[in-house]
Every structure is written in C-alpha cells, then in structure tokens.
Structure 1
Amino acid sequence: MQIDHPTPMLAGLSPAQFMRQHWQKQPLLVRQAFAGAAPPATLKALAALAARDDVESRLVTAFDGDWQLRHGPIARLPAMAKPGWTLLVQGLDQHLAEARALLDRFRFVPDARLDDLMLSVASDGGGVGPHFDSYDVFLIQLAGRRRWRIAAQQDAVLRDDVPLKIIANFKPEQEFVLDAGDMLYLPPGWAHDGVAVGPGCITGSVGFRASAAQALAAELLPRLFDEGDEAGELYADPQQQAVAAPARVPAALLDFARRAVEAAVQRPEALERALGEALTEPKATVWFEPGEPLPPGQGACLDRRSRMLYDATQVFLNGESFRAGGRDAALMQRLADARALTAAEVAELSAEARELLDQWTEDGWVQPQPS
C-alpha cells in the first residue's frame, strides 16, 4: 500500500496524512469515498448468514419505541417494509471474500489493531440508538441512506430501561446524511447515532481492537507460563519461624511470587511471543477447512480468516509462533504483509520453511494462490 499517495477514500489525504491529522483526533466525512461500491452481500445472503450458528449476528428492533435486542441465530427477519429494525452481522470478512477485500483497504493501520467488518441492514428508521464506541470506526454507506448525528460530549450516562447501551442525554453537535459511497470516520469516544433514511439501508462498519490493559495482561500471563518444559525454582523457606497467625500470607512467599512473574516477563522473547500469539488467536467462531500440501510451482495466499503478524525474530499465525531468520524470515514477513507469496517466492523458501508452509495449507490456514 502506498501510504504517501493521496486517495479519494480519505478525501484526498494520503494514509500517512490521515493518521497524523485525524486518527484518534477528529472525525472526517468523505463524500464518495467508495464511488460505485456495492455491498459485499445481498440482503438475502446476509439473512442466510444471520441464521447460522457460526456467525455472530444481532437483531435490534424499536417498534413503537420499544427497544428489543435478539442475538443470533436469527431464523427470520421482519419485512423490509416494516420500519424500525436493524440486522447486524459481525465478522463478515471471515465469511465472504468481497468483505475481506473491503477490510483490506484499511490496512494502512497495523493489522494488530484491525478487527473486522460488520454490516448493518436497516429498514426505514432503523438504528441502534445513540452510543459510544471505545474504538475507532469507519462507517461506510454501501446502499440506501443513513442520517448520522455526532457529538464530542463527555456525558456517558446510559439508559437503564433498554437492553442496549444507549446514551441517556445525547446532545448532537453535527449532522450528516450519507449516500451510497460516502464514509464517516469517528475516533474513540465520539457519541453517534445513525438512523436509516428509507428502506434498504446497508452500512459497513470497520472496527478496531482496543485492548484494556487489565484484560490484555490477563490474556498474556497464562501464555508466559505456558512453556511446559521447565518446573522452575521451588519455593523454600528454611528460615521460616513458628507463627501465631497461621492464616497470614508470608512476606517471603509474596516476594517469591513477584520475582516469578517478573522473571517470566523478562525471559528473552517471552513477552513478544505471548503478545503475538494473543493478537493472532482466531475468534471462537472461526474454523478452517483442512486442505492438501501446496502443489509444486504454485503461489500461496493466507486464508481470509487467518491472522498473521511478525516481529524481529518470530512470525505468528493463528495463535502460534514460529522462529524465522534470514531469507525465510523475509519471505514469511512478505506473506504477512502482502497476504500472499508468488510461486517464485515460494520456490525461494528453504526445505524446512516449505515444509511448514505445506503444514499450514493442510491446516487450511494458507490456500493455493489463484492463477
């Protein structure tokens, strides 16, 4: 991706300029960011996805002002002629190549932050109410029209009488009506309310991962101790005195525990490995179809569901880590960045790396590159 080239998708800004001027700073409205773009799925296809138990979906209705939320699978949708409902289908990039291609347009943001593409289908007046998101979001109008009202308000009190996180005292400061092809970027914490103007409104939402510090630590710590080949130092207390308060935790044991955690974090590449594995761990709804080893003379590409990252010494794919160096490391990094390797690049892999690539294709993580 040419990060220094201006693009209509970002209102004539280059990705580099957008990140400096707008990312996590201020909203950006882009008229015809995706001129001529079509939704990656029809309403019929989205309804079929929402009926599956391996697809995350929600149906939000506000009939006669009565807010209701139903989680999928959703066997039947209301008629499009009935105002006031919205279908949300999460992780569409995991199921449709067209959705994955749309998500890839935003890879000027690190993959470690890029989450997924959600599609919202709404009848006239449909929406999910005014709310906050804790992450950045690009809202792409793909069909129909939607009215957005936004505000930088700090009042985060939510209504307690509805099953959604709806702001109780929303005070919009700006209003836009988006037509098909338009896009609105919002930084984290901007209150927003989108309402369909007419039936057949389809909006794509590109969301990003924003890990809370405590949640990230809770995910990393088990991985730091998941070596399985070293018992480590055993606690010993030859100087322990007799105690009159046996339930009190000994200070020496607390110090031992603190040193154990600090030592785990400080092991070479341990934290890097744990973070890379955590960031590439597939979601619970993701599964891969087993394949065959890569045919000779064939290029390779990542399956659209695969997550692949790398650092200076390791590559990470779908929750696993692999050491790589030299030419193999450069080629594996190329696979992660471009999500594909040409046949000529595959031919440059060492025998060991080629064997690993074949294993990935058998696991379904990598697919043969289409001709």
Structure 2
Amino acid sequence: MLSLPVSTEVFLAEYWQRKPLLIPGGLTAFSPPVSAEELAGIAMEPEAESRIVVNRNSQWQLHHGPFSARDFNRDSPWTLLVQRVDHWVPEVADIRREVPFIPGWRIDDVMVSYANDGGSVGPHFDNYDVFLLQGDGVRRWKIGQYCDEAEPLLDHPDLLLLAEFRQEDEFVLNCGDILYVPPRVAHWGIAEGDCTTYSIGFRAPRLADLLSRRTDAALESLGNATLFKDPVPRPSARPGELSRSDIEAATTQLINALAQQQSPQWMGELITEGIDTEHGPDGAMSDEEAASLLGNGITSLTLQPEARVCWTEHEGSLWVFAGGDSLSVSKTHLPLLMELCDTWTLSSPQVEEMQSLEAGPNLLAFLLTRGALDVEA
C-alpha cells in the first residue's frame, strides 16, 4: 500500500481535495511495469485512447492516435499520453490497489505518459483528484494557484492551458515518489531527461448528474396524482401575486419528495456506468454464455480491470451495482463480495460457495453479463 508521510486520517482530513502533498518513496520498491517502447506499442493500437502534446517554439500542438512509429521521432519536447493503460496491462491495474483508503467507486483509470527531455503538457488544472506516481526517470512538478471557473486560459483550439501560472511550490520526483494534486489546483510537470509517469485519477460524479438521477427516481415514485399543497391560506392583498410563501412551500415539498426516495439505485447505477469496452477487451457475455459457464464449473473469477463494481446495504438487503445496472440479493453474499472487491479474485472453492447461496448463481450471472468478471474455466 502507498506509504503516506502522514497518517491516513490526517491525509483525508487535511489534504484530500484540499491541498497537494508530496509523498517521497510512496512506493519504495516500485518497478515501472511499462517501458516507453511498450507504451508506444499500445498507442499504436486503434482501440487505445492516446495523445501527443508537442511544444515547438513555445507553441503547443496536440495530435491524436493511433500513432505509427514515425510519430515518435520528434526534434522538439513532446509527451505521449495513453489513457486506461490499466485496462491493457494487469500490472498497471494493480497500481490502483495501492490507494485502498479512497472508495473504489471513485477511481477512474491509470493514465501513463512518456516525455523526452523538456517534454510537458503545459500548465493546467484537472477537475479530479490525481496521484502522480513517477516511473522511470525524473520529472519536475510546479504547483500553482487554485483555479475557479473564471481562470483565464490560452486561446488554443484543443488544449485547456492556463494563460497565467502563479507558482507556489516545486517538487522533483524520482522513481517511486508520488505527488497528490487535488481538483482545480494548477500544476505543470516538466521531464528532466526521458521519463514516464503513472497518473491514478479519481473522478467524482457531477452534482447535476446526481440531481438528475435522483429526480428521475423521485418522479417514478410520485406519479401524476401527487399535487402541490397550498400553504396556510391567507388573504392576498395584491392581485396576481405569486407569494414568497407559495414559492417556499413548493420548494419544501420538492425537497421532501427527493428525500423520500430512499432506494440507492439512482446513485449506484450512475457511478458504475462506463465499463468502456471501446478501449479494452469486451468481457460481457450473454445470459446463455453465463449460464453455460456456471453450469460447467469455474476454476476462478477475477475482477476485470475496467469493471466498476460497488455495493450497499439497504433495508436488510444487499444491492450490487455493475455496468450501470443493479441487483438486490441477500446479505449472506457480503463476505464473498467484499473478498472480490478487495483481492479482485474468487478462488474455485469461493465460487462454489457463492453458487451454493440463495440467488448466488444470479449474482454471478449478473456480474458476468455486465462484463465485470474474467473467467478461468
């Protein structure tokens, strides 16, 4: 596990989503699992999401993959970035397990970048938390200001780069060092010689999306017969007025309607959407394929790197979410489900145990048909 210079409690209370933290030797025995050549090979695949950022004569250029070998021969500082490398390389997916103190449903992906000497993507900020793990070589990180919606950007058609970078700190990272950067904090990484960096990104759902889903759930339960109730009537002194008390009553009734929607489905289904098979192997199978596998015996099950799986207890049941869908099962499944989420694996005896539980085959079939599990028959 990632070795913090402060306690986990202090990190979550004082740094997480608040301020940057340098974590020297965060992974002391880290051996970068992807070389620059291997990263370039992934970037040449049509299914990979890759970019090259070039700084030529102080002008920023962006190129999108897939790339060919000649795209990696450049005479200016440049950076190759490949998204979702954890979906391609199991050893990169393992890096996600180094941060177990952050809820698993918050993780997005592990992006890997390569840069030659002076290579950079420019001064920018992200809308998500990120742990920047240094792989091969050395990278210098400059930390700047907190950026709000009004922060001026360069006039660039493709890149969201800051027009002004106000440096507040600077760190030099070697292999195994980590820099945590909260959302909207400006940062600027510059390679000192050839280097690779592993960016572990944690995204949060937009409040607008959460509100939309919760509202949709409330609308389904309200029906068309539920009407606005007038506040305590009182004579109107001004004809035609929509009174403040009417507006406040409507607002209160809407809040109460949303609060009465207690099912966790609206959130669980939203945050597990996006098993993005466009950028990795399609592990989802049909109901018939899942039933056949479960009937013929399974040696072990492994959580797919791209899988988004979470669960919650609600009104005596266990709700399981995967691939934007949900299933309610008995809480007797909880120990095995926690084992799967913790170790990413269920052994053959554990699979047999789950199949012996009531609705256990249904739960396994649910995860298989949502592309969440890889099977060894």
Q: Say how many residue pairs are matched.
A: 341
Pairing 1:192–2:187 present: yes
Of residues 126, 129, 132, the one that matches 2:122 is: 129
Counterpart-to-counterpart distance in 2, 1:283 and 1:361: 12
Question: Given the superposition, is the C-alpha separation of residues 338 and 222 from structure 1 closer, same or farther in structure 2, using an over 3 Å criterion?
Answer: farther
Counterpart in the other structure of 1:142: 135
Long gaps (5+) in structure 2: 228-248
Counterpart in the other structure of 1:4: none
Q: Residues 164-183 of structure 1 correspond to what in structure 2 (within 5 A)?
A: 164-183=159-178
Q: 1:107–1:114: 8 Å Cα contact kept in structure 2?
A: no
Q: Residues 253-264 of structure 1 correspond to what in structure 2 (within 5 A)?
A: none
Pairing 1:324–2:316 present: no
State the percentage of identical aligned residues.
33
Q: Residue 326 of structure 1 aligns to which amino acid in structure 2?
A: K
Secondary structure of the residue that 2:337 maps to in structure 1?
helix
Question: Given the superposition, is the C-alpha separation of residues 77 and 183 from structure 1 closer, same or farther in structure 2, using an over 3 Å criterion?
Answer: farther
Of residues 195, 198, 204, the one that matches 1:204 is: 198
Give 1 or 2: higher helix fraction. 2
Question: Given the superposition, is the C-alpha separation of residues 326 and 103 from structure 1 closer, same or farther in structure 2, using an over 3 Å criterion?
Answer: closer
Q: Residues 198-277 of structure 1 correspond to what in structure 2 (within 5 A)?
A: 198-199=193-194, 201-218=195-212, 221=215, 232-233=223-224, 266-269=260-263, 272-277=264-269
Pairing 1:40–2:45 present: no
Q: 1:146–1:177: 8 Å Cα contact kept in structure 2?
A: yes
Q: 1:158–1:167: 8 Å Cα contact kept in structure 2?
A: yes
Counterpart in the other structure of 1:249: none
Counterpart in the other structure of 1:301: 302
Secondary structure of the residue that 1:348 maps to in structure 2?
helix
Counterpart in the other structure of 1:243: none
Q: Which moved more, 1:28-37 or 1:201-210?
A: 28-37
Q: 2:309–2:372: 8 Å Cα contact kept in structure 1?
A: no
Q: 1:276–1:316: 8 Å Cα contact kept in structure 2?
A: yes
Counterpart in the other structure of 2:346: 341
1:113-168 CA distance string (max 9 Å, x none) = 21111111111111111111222111111011111111235572111146311111
Q: How much does 1:42 deviate? A: 2.2
Q: Which moved more, 1:119-128 or 1:347-356?
A: 347-356
TM-score relative to the length of structure 2: 0.78
Q: 2:113–2:197: 8 Å Cα contact kept in structure 1?
A: yes
Question: Given the superposition, is the C-alpha separation of residues 48 and 297 from structure 1 closer, same or farther in structure 2, using an over 3 Å criterion?
Answer: closer
Q: How much does 1:50 deviate? A: 1.7
Pairing 1:87–2:87 present: no
Q: Which moved more, 1:285-294 or 1:117-126?
A: 285-294
Q: How much does 1:68 deviate? A: 1.1
Of residues 261, 270, 273, the one that matches 1:278 is: 270
1:204-225 CA distance string (max 9 Å, x none) = 1111112321233345555666
Counterpart-to-counterpart distance in 1, 2:362 and 2:208: 38
TM-score relative to the length of structure 1: 0.79
Q: 1:220–1:274: 8 Å Cα contact kept in structure 2?
A: yes
Counterpart-to-counterpart distance in 2, 1:95 and 1:265: 41
Secondary structure of the residue that 1:38 maps to in structure 2?
coil
Secondary structure of the residue that 2:341 maps to in structure 1?
helix
Secondary structure of the residue that 2:313 maps to in structure 1?
coil
1:14-70 CA distance string (max 9 Å, x none) = 433422332122221122222342333222322222223322211111122221112
Question: Given the superposition, is the C-alpha separation of residues 301 and 232 from structure 1 closer, same or farther in structure 2, using an over 3 Å criterion?
Answer: same
Q: How much does 1:342 deviate? A: 3.4
Q: How much does 1:196 deviate? A: 0.8
Question: Given the superposition, is the C-alpha separation of residues 278 and 146 from structure 1 closer, same or farther in structure 2, using an over 3 Å criterion?
Answer: same
Q: Residue 55 of structure 1 aligns to which amino acid in structure 2?
A: A
Question: Given the superposition, is the C-alpha separation of residues 261 and 172 from structure 1 closer, same or farther in structure 2, using an over 3 Å criterion?
Answer: closer
Counterpart-to-counterpart distance in 2, 1:33 and 1:235: 55
Question: Given the superposition, is the C-alpha separation of residues 91 and 360 from structure 1 closer, same or farther in structure 2, using an over 3 Å criterion?
Answer: same
Of residues 342, 354, 361, the one that matches 2:361 is: 354
Q: Residue 354 of structure 1 aligns to which amino acid in structure 2?
A: P
Q: Residue 331 of structure 1 aligns to which amino acid in structure 2?
A: L
Counterpart-to-counterpart distance in 2, 1:147 and 1:118: 18
Q: Residue 78 of structure 2 aligns to which amino acid in structure 1?
A: W
Secondary structure of the residue that 1:152 maps to in structure 2?
strand
Counterpart-to-counterpart distance in 2, 1:261 and 1:176: 46
